[in-house]
Structure 1
């Protein structure tokens, strides 16, 4: 018998005869059983589903039995497919007999063919799958229970994904014209699906209709703005740019488009050695992950049962099906560390997918949305390990087809299963046979075969838990002369034979015996590893604990790994299972040496961090070295990349150390390490860690009443506020920094704070205040003999000078900076500022050469944050020279780069520049759209200068459209505000537009505004 749910409910005999149960409830019952085919559904669940929100009648159970009997009778010989279990029913069927299961299988194979680069096979399989649909909805005409809605939604979403993937495959087969024709009605039904717009643009482009392809982008942008108030995603914007520049790669299939600068993340930990048993469970995980859509698998069970090992093993086996990356994250849900908050988890995942610090929102909802956007159209596998609650997990789960997640937890996470239609895999202890096999793999077949009864007893004492068994077997392997009976005797001597088969107790029993049998040096290291507060430890750090050289400590680390007390999670980096870490920390609290070891390790982290910071950020202001943490670093760094690599690798440990020092002491460590991390945070802007470290450092300094620590932490906290455009807060904190630094005579900190204050005033369009602060900073740096600092302040001073119309003075400052100081990463900014001033003076050739030099320096120095800024300057120069095509291309690149990297103000400025270029090309409607979008994106905290330039540009665009009343209103508003802010050049631009408006209208005021423009 064939069953159909993809459309009206359908039952057909092998001869093709249709069967229709008489009662609505009977049809609903069959639909429910088909949706959960081959799984027993409890009677209570069926009663709740069938009567849904209605009051379940007293006769409901009897009615259900009647419905089942009627369905069996109607199905004839196939009625036996409805099987009775213990207060439950199941409809047994092969996947090929039920259309929605056949559909999912075909789609899965189609997606795999597409990923393997076989578009013909992909199109055939996907079209066959789509042909199984006989209507628009599942079980069309039946009202199904709301509890089934997530599954119904998943099937609908999968159908749309299959349609898109089929069209993409046919596009790769050269059917551009046909695909474009099919996409138009599909987009009409689903206008907010950006993947469909991308396919339409590409199809039209490959059909030789470049203008129509660009028109599709504009239509998509308008629909997204109108319906959702959002910009097109990165995929659409990137394709738009590639079409604009006629990228030759678009002429042929190139697969999913990806930012080439972002490496594919491969974060899976190493697999456990001698992974044994769990074959059935591993196959279940793989089967669940192979389902179409965005499958989620939750593996739950008690500590030590092997959840992580299974998840990692399965992830490695299926990794090739997720070519866009495999991400791993330990959520610390059940460790002694604080469970990872969702915003921190989201931040780490987004960074792994290429987001920079400025791009990551500090709001959970916004970050969740950004993660889903980045995963859209990608095939990424997430392994979310050690989850403590559903709230911790839900924001991290993928929702777009193609990606998948494996979650491990000691909790069942029922709401994750309910909300995402996930598959639960409860993991229990190993069977006696599997436990025996694991002991054999590690301890050796001869040992186990010599005493099978003893091995069985050992497995029982270990609770049949993989972690405990591994530790016990490793102990036997390390002592070849021991028999199983001898090992059991040692357990009995330790009074452990009476342990109940409880997870933690069984693990502790084997841990204790393994620890007591270590040689003294390895035992001491294991004990001292209990003082580590971060997630892992390097071999170098372990050597500090052991007070030995790195080569020597690696021997001890290898012994601990052999005893299964430690895992080498990546080359020369080591971590512990949560239960092992808890045991090590208990041992450390009983060891008097642990306090000295903790202090020794902390000092090492500070001194090595200081060496890395001096190498990577030599001109950044920081606290003077303290006596006990002076420059005695055992590690040296050859260059900037080497230092940054070390800081990135150790960042989780360093952040954890700051928090630990702030809570337990020594508190000076918190602000000293926080001060060093500020130097690393400045160019990278990982807002979450930065703010947490600065707050902890400030709290520690205040508790100790240390003014140096307070000034340093305030300087750091102000940097966070500035990066988040919280300018009023930044001003307040910087004034406090200046005051505290002045009291203690720390002129370097004062100078840095004045420089930052000037930049913030510039952001707030306060050119006079900005100039005063920056001149003070330059003078303080001069007194200190700090040439790079003075050059930085002078370079920044060029900004307010431009706002005040002092263009020649701005150029002189930039030249002074470039000639008087050694080359620094800030030199490109000075060149860019100088180029802008020359442009405003009409000296375009000089401006163009300087801007191009600035762009070359930005690329060569890896200063990605400055690239879109320089591109905007170049676009403005080409615009003023009359090369509008080049200007538009570079302005659009600036908009795309700044938006993708989260540089809000630069993105808005670039959009304003793009709007002026579009107006000059006569596309006034598009210009209006760009300027209005810029004004929408601007918050009250952003630069008034940018807002006023947008108003001037909008006025000019409205003039081009003949909307003179609106044009005059915007221009007059810009003129009045420019006068109030003393923005002379913007005032002149506003007067120029007003003169044109009045001239168009034949009004005498035109001459007045021309005179005002010339006067300015």
Structure 2
């Protein structure tokens, strides 16, 4: 009588030699995924070292991370099949371990539908084994995916499950990352007070756990929430601290670029610093953004397009915006799709295609409302108001601007509110109503100074100068000169009537 096969082989029906070959392949996938994950907390919860791989190996270099990402992309179908196969036939822990290690790849490269399906399969495997750590990891993965697709109720449900599981096991790090996930959903839905509370508690727990990488993520969350609130200096401070913390954590290729910080620098009028925060050359030319494949993500490209618009490089901005849109479409990232369309529409308007810009803004508006991104909805309405004004559709422009103002006021988005007040001033001037134009411009000016949005201040001054010029006010020229000085100081290109 022959000896019985090991239990795992009996369960799956695999011959021992085939099982061994599969497990070597699975271990190879896992090591590649871990390398592609870099040094950030994508791999949380920390995976036990696989016996087939080296222990205590040095952090991967940027080139090794890129090479690993390329391999994952070429093996995508096999990777996803491996997750499904092991979730059904074993070894089940491999399914959730691989999906945990793949989180960064999923975030950057994988279509959201494929990500969701694979994570659901891995979650079933963890549930079948009653593995709380595996369940928490997959609920977190699904929470991030649903948030990125604009599915807020599902995202909240998954992150709440993560929080409960880690409270049961007394894991402060797991609780911190769950709270961070909830904070991101809160910020998206304009619940900024709740977001700040969640990120603050996440920061405390991350420090309690002694994990610098998770601490940096909480600081980034705080920076994002304060940016939405219009507290740009406080936002920049948190994001700069996050960058320093990432360096202390040994985050490798992540330590010289942080798109969120670039966005704040851009709003502060620090255009060269904004470009450098994206990894551009020291001369402030953000053309470097497209030169490295690992930089090609929708957020980075969108911010690069915004910087180029202010620098007056409209065609380059259009190229970046189109590429950002393509990447967002390819991965099914509805949240970023609305943002990319809004930026593309602004670039279309600057290149003289107002009709096309209005249509693109309409598309962005529908998606922003669908995913519940209130800041993007307000910004899209603002862009649509400008497109209508340029086309001399003043009634439609006024209606869109008023909707944007109401959203910005309700959400506490002070930078967007100030920009909308400036646009309302421009609309009133175009309608031959300089008195309300001056009132709106003065309000915008005060709010921009409070938030620290320097280019917003310059635009409000320019709008005020135009309103004053319409009534032959002798102070118009001095106001115009003040606006021009700010444009030149930031490196932005002044509009034609200020040159």
Same fold (TM over 0.5): yes
1:994 match: 424
Q: Give the direction of change, closer, same or farther, for the CA distance of 1:621–1:856 in structure 2 (3 Å limit).
A: farther
> How far apart in 2 are the matches of 1:532 and 1:862?
45
The 3 A distance-change label for structure 1 pair 597 and 887 is closer
Does the 8 A contact of 1:844 with 1:877 survive in 2? Answer: yes
1:16 equivalent in structure 2: none
Indicate the residue corresponding to 2:392 in structure 1: 962
Tell me the residue number matched to 1:873. Answer: 303
Distance 2:35 2:234 in 1: 34
Partner of 2:234: 809
Q: Could you list the per-position Cα deviations for residues 73-108 of structure 1 after superposition, in whole angstroms to 9, with x for gaps in the alignment?
A: xxxxxxxxxxxxxxxxxxxxxxxxxxxxxxxxxxxx
Cα distance in 1, alignment partners of residues 361 and 183 from structure 2: 28
Secondary structure at 2:147's aligned position in 1? Answer: helix
Partners of 1:602 and 1:657 within 8 A in 2: no
Contact 2:290 2:296 survives alignment (8 Å) = no
1:246-645 correspondence runs (5 A) = 594=15, 604=24, 607-617=27-37, 618-619=39-40, 620-625=42-47, 630-633=49-52, 639-640=64-65, 643-644=68-69
Query: Which of the numbers 152, 175, 188 marks the counterpart of 1:750?
Result: 175
Change (3 A) 1:685 1:777: farther
- Secondary structure in structure 1 of the residue aligned to 2:50: coil
Q: Does 1:930 align with 2:360?
A: yes
1:1005 to 410, 432, 436: 436
Structure 1 residues 752 and 1005, CA gap change in structure 2 (3 angstroms): same
Instruction: Give the equivalent residue in structure 2 for 1:915.
Output: 345
Alignment match, 2:165: 740
Partner of 1:771: 196
Are the structure 2 counterparts of residues 828 and 865 from structure 1 closer, same or farther at C-alpha, using a change threshold of 3 Å? farther
Please give the secondary structure, in 2, of the residue aligned with 1:940: helix
Larger % of helix: which? 2
Q: For residues 666 and 885 of structure 1, what CA distance do their matches in structure 2 show? A: 52
Measure, in 2, the Cα distance between the counterparts of 1:676 and 1:879: 37
What are the Cα deviations for residues 800-848 of structure 1, in whole angstroms up to 9, with x where unaligned? 2211111111222222223332344544652x33333233223334334
Cα distance change on mapping 1:685 and 1:749 into 2, 3 Å:
farther
Q: Is the 8 A contact 2:87 2:95 kept in 1?
A: yes
Displacement, 1:948?
1.0
**Distance in 1 between residues matched to 2:11 and 2:120, nearest whole Å:** 19
CA positional deviation for 1:973: 0.8
Aligned mates of 2:77, 2:329 — CA distance in 1: 28
Q: Does 1:840 align with 2:267?
A: yes
Whether the 8 Å contact between 2:43 and 2:103 is mirrored in structure 1 is: no
Unpaired runs of at least 5, structure 2: 448-499
What TM-score does the superposition give when structure 2 sets the normalisation length?
Answer: 0.72
TM-score by length of 1: 0.38
CA distance in 1, matches of 2:330, 2:98: 31
CA displacement, residues 706-750 of structure 1 (integer Å, 9 cap, x when unaligned): 322321221222233234332221111111111111211233332
C-alpha change, 1:922 and 1:686, in structure 2 (3 Å) is: closer
Match of 1:863 among 280, 294, 297: 294
TM-fit CA distance, 1:954: 1.4
Q: In 2, Cα distance between the equivalents of 1:758 and 1:702? A: 26
Which protein, 1 or 2, shows the higher relative CO under an 8 Å CA cutoff with sep ≥ 6?
Answer: 2
Match of residue 762 from structure 1: 187
Equivalent in the alignment of 1:730: 155
Q: Does 1:700 align with 2:130?
A: no
Q: Is the Cα–Cα contact under 8 Å of residues 533 and 660 in structure 1 kept in the other structure? A: no
Q: Unpaired runs of 5+ in structure 1?
A: 1-523, 535-584, 589-593
Q: In the TM superposition, what is the alpha-carbon distance from 1:964 to its structure 2 partner?
A: 1.9
Change in 2 beyond 3 A, CA 1:689/1:889: closer
CA distance in 1, matches of 2:22, 2:243: 40
Is the Cα–Cα contact under 8 Å of residues 898 and 907 in structure 1 kept in the other structure?
Answer: yes
Match of 2:472 in 1: none
Q: Which residue of structure 2 aligns with residue 795 of structure 1? A: 220
Residue number in structure 1 paired with 2:210: 785
Match of 1:445?
Answer: none
1 CA distance for matches of 2:80 and 2:348? 47
- Kindly indicate whether the alpha-carbon contact (under 8 Å) linking 1:621 and 1:752 is maintained by their aligned counterparts in 2: no
Question: Offset at 1:985?
Answer: 0.9
1:7-86 alignment runs, 5 A limit = none
* Deviation of the 1:889 alpha carbon: 4.8
Whole-Å separation in 2 of the counterparts to 1:679 and 1:923: 37
Local SS of the residue matching 1:631? coil
1:798 CA displacement: 2.4
Query: 1:665/1:778 Cα in 2 relative to 1: closer, same or farther (>3 Å)?
Result: same
Asked whether the 8 Å contact 1:884–1:917 carries over to 2, the reply is: yes
Q: Distance in 2 between matches of 1:889 and 1:656?
A: 36
Distance, in Å, in 2 between the alignment partners of 1:697 and 1:748 is 21
Cα distance in 1 between the residues matched to 2:444 and 2:140: 42
| Alpha-carbon distance change, 921 to 721 in structure 1, aligned in 2, over 3 angstroms | closer
Q: SS state of the match for residue 1010, structure 1?
A: helix
Q: 1:684: Cα distance to partner?
A: 2.8
SS at match of 2:43: coil
In 2, the alpha carbon distance for the partners of 1:841 and 1:800 equals 16
The CA distance in 2 between the partners of 1:683 and 1:899, in whole Å, is: 13
- Give the SS at the match of 2:370: coil
Instruction: Give 1:782 deviation, angstroms.
Output: 2.4
Cα RMSD, aligned residues only = 3.9
Is the CA contact (8 Å cut-off) linking 1:533 and 1:656 kept in structure 2? no
